[in-house]
Each structure stands twice: as C-alpha cells, then as structure tokens.
Amino acid sequence: MDKARVVVVGAGFAGLWVVRRLASEKDVEVMLLDRHNYHTFLPLLYQVAAAELEPEQIAYPLRGICRRHSNVRLAVTEVRGIDTARKLVRADGLDIPYDYLVVAAGSRTAYFGVPGAEEHSFSLKTLEEAVCLRNQIISCFEQAALESDPERRRAMLTFTVVGGGPTGVEYAGALAELVRAPLRKDFPELDMNEVRVVLLEAAPGVLGGFPERLRGYAKKRLGAMGVDVRLDASVAEVTAAGVLFASGEHLPTHTVVWTAGVRGEVVAEHMGLPLGRGGRVAVLSTLQVEGLPEVFVVGDMSLPEGQNPPMNAPNATQQGRLAAENILAMLQRRDPVPFRYRDKGAMATIGRQAAVVRMGNFAFSGFLAWLLWLFVHLAYLIGFRNRLIVLINWAWDYLFYERAVRLILPRRGCGTIDSRKREAAQGAGDADRPGATCS
C-alpha cells in the first residue's frame, strides 16, 4: 500500500519503455495491461506478410519481460474504459485501481473515408493480419495455377499496395522479391509476366518527408524491381473486384493492401479522452491529459500541445521514457518536464542491398544504408533468440534467394479481410469458413 501504483495500457514500444524505466524503482508497482501476451516488433511486420519471417520471430512474450522485475505484473485483458473519479481502469471482468495511468494503446489503420477500403483491403497492424495477408498472397498463386480464364488469372496475380510511405515501399519491394525468385521457382506453370505489384501513392512522390534525392532513388529502385509505381493516384473506392481511381480508371485486383495511414486506437474514445487530429489524444506538453495530471498518454495515441510528432517507434520510446520520468518527478514533488521530440532520422529498405537513410543533414542510399537498416532493426528487436533467428533467415534469403515461410497456415480464421470482422463472423457461427481466398 505504500507503493505508487502505475497502470500501463499497451505493450508496444511506448508502454514497454515506461515499464523498463519504472522497473527498478522500489517505491513503484507497475501493472501492464495488453490484449495480447506478447510484444510485436512492428517495423518487421511486413516481412511476416512477405513470407520472410515467422510471426514468433518478431514477437516476445510479455511474461518473459515482467518476470525479471519483482514490481511488474501483467494482465492479459481488453481495456474498455476508465473511471477517472474513482481512478479505475475498466477491463474485461475486473476494475484495476491506479495512482498514475499511462495510456499507450498504439494506433490502427486509417481509411480516410474511402468507400469499401476497410471492407475489401488488407491492413498490416497485427501479427494476425500479417499472417492472413501472407495466406492471401500464396493462395492467389495456388488458385491462379489452376485458373484457365486469363482475365481472372491476371486479377488474381495483381497485388496492389495503397500508400507510398515507408511501410508501403518496404512491403512492395519485399513482395516483388518474393515473386521474382521463390515463387517463380515454385510455380513454373505460371507466366510471371502476368504478375504485377502495383504501388499507389496520392502524392507526387513516395516516402514523403525524405529528401528528394532519396525519394527519387526509391522510385527508381522499385521500378527496376518490377514494381509499377503510380504517383498522383487517388483511390476513390475499393471493391471486391479491384480499385477505382478518382480519374475513373479501374484496376482489377483481388488483393489490396492498405498502408496509406494510421490513426489513434479507438480505446481513447471509450475512455472519454479529448481527441485531436487523426484520432490522437490532445495532451499537454508534459504528456498529461488536461485536468487529469495523473493520466499520461504516450506513443501513437499522443498529440502533445503545439507539436505533431511522427507516429513511429523513436517517438514512442522517447515519450514512454519521459512519461516514466515525469511520474517519478511527481512522486518526488517536482514539476514534470515538457516533451520535445528528437528527430534521429528515418530509414526504409527497398530490397536486396537497397535502402534510404536520413540522419540529420546526412542522407544516403544503397548498400551502406541497407547495412545500417539491418543493424538498427536487429539492435531494437527484443530477445537474443529472435535476433539470431532473424539474422539467419535474412542470410538464407540473401545467399539462396529463398523464402522459408511460404505456408498457408492456419486454414481457419482468415476468411475475411479485417481481424475484427473475422472474430464477429466466427461468433455468428461462421468458424468453418476456409482460409485466405482469391475468389
């Protein structure tokens, strides 16, 4: 009872950095809440969807983290809201009291009101979605190998990625490499000239926020890999049959991957927190909710006063660390300090031996940028075993042009596009729906 009880909602980068900082404090008891019992390394999620890595290679069990610290506990539950008057977090089946609350629930895909986008496209925010997308890609090839109608086969073999940011560029490049080597050998009966990877970007260039030279390099490199990069391509509607552009053109495709944007998680609405731009929670510069000094919001959900930090891992770790420091300052009756995002740069890989890196005033691309990208992602991946296995998979792919995870697995549970819709369908008695499909 003498310890301050800190409840952390969400085990992403922001939430884990809060836990890490507070784990050594004897006067603090930490309760970590998450709907999953693992942390997902989201920067490599696209490689699961591209059959390069297994899901467990970019995930780490949360209890493996918590058991190292005697003052940290874990509850796997779904958070439904908060009672700020009684200082309670409302979760499935229990109310959890707090002295300080840190909300770090992350983000979800933003569809910007495009008709049919949520219903007919694949998002890439969770391990389940990545596995379903992998199933979809492999299933399309399997079914195309049996399809006699040329138009239907071409639609099956057209893979469309909407959004030219880092995730879209990285996934388009990884998908092009998957098609160019492993699947070409797996499906000799298919004419690989019929396979198309199309990257759509509504802006005049890919990788917005990068220097123009790097943006040009990325577009040129993708083109050399066989990716059809279409700029100024605004999507007006997504249907089961394809993509309709604002210009009126229609692109027949059975696979649309939506990476065009993100917004704050919906749990913020359930908590009654003040929302700002992009569904993010408007907070003070100290990351506290106005009028609720004991409630902090960090990571992708947080929109600090007068700032618009990017929704990425460096921002999440910086905010998580500062929120923990501010909690400790308040316990010591010191004033919390404001958050200022430190831009350490940005990077994106385009494929084999190709990446772009921006670090301060320095910008470079090519092989050295690719090596730096590999090093940074391995360094931040949690778990020595995960680092070792990921490194082995990367080496195997690099040396032998092979992807080890070309599996349609599991067959059940991936029948619809969105994971929430899948759960609803199963709850309605549709659990026997088959796996990913191109039909």
- What is the distance between the alpha carbons of residues 406 and 103, in angstroms, rounded to a whole number? 37
CATH topology of domain 117-258+345-422: FAD/NAD(P)-binding domain (3.50.50)
Query: Which residues pair with residue 239 across a beta bridge?
Result: 242
**What pLDDT sits at residue 1?**
52
Instruction: Give the pLDDT confidence score for residue 413 in this predicted structure.
Output: 55
**Confidence check: pLDDT of 73 > 80:** yes
* Domain boundaries defined on the chain: 4-35+77-109+262-331, 117-258+345-422
- Per the annotation, the verdict on 265 as an active-site residue is no
Q: Is the pLDDT of residue 27 over 60?
A: yes
Common-topology check for domains 4-35+77-109+262-331 and 117-258+345-422: yes
**pLDDT cut 90: percent of the chain above it:** 85
Banded pLDDT at 430 (limits 50, 70, 90): very low
d(CA 197, CA 164): 13
pLDDT value of position 425: 38
pLDDT tens, residue by residue, 160-201: 999 999 999 999 999 999 999 899 999 999 999 999 999 999
Q: Is the pTM of this model over 0.85?
A: yes
Contacts 24+ apart (CB under 8 A), 329-332: 330/100, 330/293, 331/4, 331/27, 331/28
CATH of domain 4-35+77-109+262-331: 3.50.50.60
Cis peptide before 410 (omega within 30 of 0): yes
Query: Which residue among the candidates 170, 177, 201, 265 is catalytic per the annotation?
Result: 170
Q: Whole-angstrom Cα distance, residue 16 to residue 437?
A: 36
What pLDDT is recorded for position 411? 64
Q: How large is the C-alpha radius of gyration of the chain?
A: 22
Query: How far is residue 89 CA from its own chain's centroid?
Result: 26
Q: Is the peptide bond before 182 cis (omega within 30 degrees of 0)?
A: no
What pairing do the DSSP bridges indicate for beta strands 38-40 and 59-61?
Answer: antiparallel
